[in-house]
Amino acid sequence: MDANHNVIRKFIEIPEKFFSELTNQPFSHCIDCNAHLLDKGTSYYIEKVIKQYKKLNTYDVIYEYAICASCCNKLASQYSQTSLENIQNYFLNHTDFLVRRHELLAYENIDINQWIDNCVIRGTSIHDLEEYQMACHCFGDKMVLDIFPFIIGGEALEEIVKLLSNQTLDIISDFKRNKLLSPTEPYPVNTDYPLLFV
């Protein structure tokens, strides 16, 4: 998805929800090229996958990382054309980012929780999701409120995975196996979920 449309953007401090679970600090380096991310204007994305245990009232971060825009583009350029088109069509058919933007601009003081309270595809409440992916777009030490941030529940992620070609799934799973650190042990590898910053 292209987050670089010519629209008014709001920036906020990066909420702690998007801090690294390992350090309790903002992500500071790209997982791929190790570039420093917190310099003003550096564009990067954060993704975390969370598993919730409602009965125990707790959760695990299955994996988390930040990736600079340049490494992200490099990775996405290896996705097959079919996969890219399928992902984009899926989002076009299931979400209305224009409406989301209008809602966002209507708020004076945005509550970030309101923005990531429901699966952006299905509308399921975050409290009812066993597993979800949360994603945001940052510039240096600020988060941009645009089409990001959002969360996507496990069921919608499974649907997206089915739209990807084998070539694309291999690229994603290689990237995750080689790069990702999990704050939880043992590493519960779920390498299928797509990176959605494309």
Between 67 and 119, whose beta carbon lies closer to Zn ion? Answer: 67
Number of residues located near Zn ion, criterion CB under 5 A: 6
Cβ within 8 Å of residue 128, ≥6 positions away:
none
The distance of closest approach from Cβ of residue 44 to Zn ion in the complex, given in angstroms and rounded to an integer, is: 8
69 binds Zn ion (CB under 5 A): no
Between 62 and 71, whose beta carbon lies closer to Zn ion? Answer: 71
Between 71 and 112, whose beta carbon lies closer to Zn ion? Answer: 71
The residue within the footprint of Zn ion, chosen from 38, 49, 62, 68 (CB under 5 A), is 68
CA distance 39 to 50: 27
Report whether the peptide linkage leading into residue 149 is cis, meaning its omega lies within 30 degrees of zero: yes
The residue range among 69-77, 78-86, 107-115, 183-191 that interacts with Zn ion, by the rule CB under 5 A, is 69-77
Cβ within 8 Å of residue 51, ≥6 positions away:
59, 60, 62, 130, 131, 188
The distance of closest approach from Cβ of residue 142 to Zn ion in the complex, given in angstroms and rounded to an integer, is: 18
**What residues between 135 and 194 interact with Zn ion by CB under 5 A?**
none
What Cα–Cα distance (Å) separates residue 24 from each residue in 17, 18, 85, 169, 177?
9, 9, 36, 31, 23
Closest CA to 95 of 153, 142, 43, 143: 153
Site track 3-42 with Zn ion (rule: CB under 5 A), x = hit:
---------------------------x-xx-x-------
72 binds Zn ion (CB under 5 A): no
Exposed, middle or buried, 70 (CB in 10 Å: 0-12/13-18/19+)?
middle
Q: Interface residues with Zn ion (CB under 5 A)?
A: 30, 32-33, 35, 68, 71
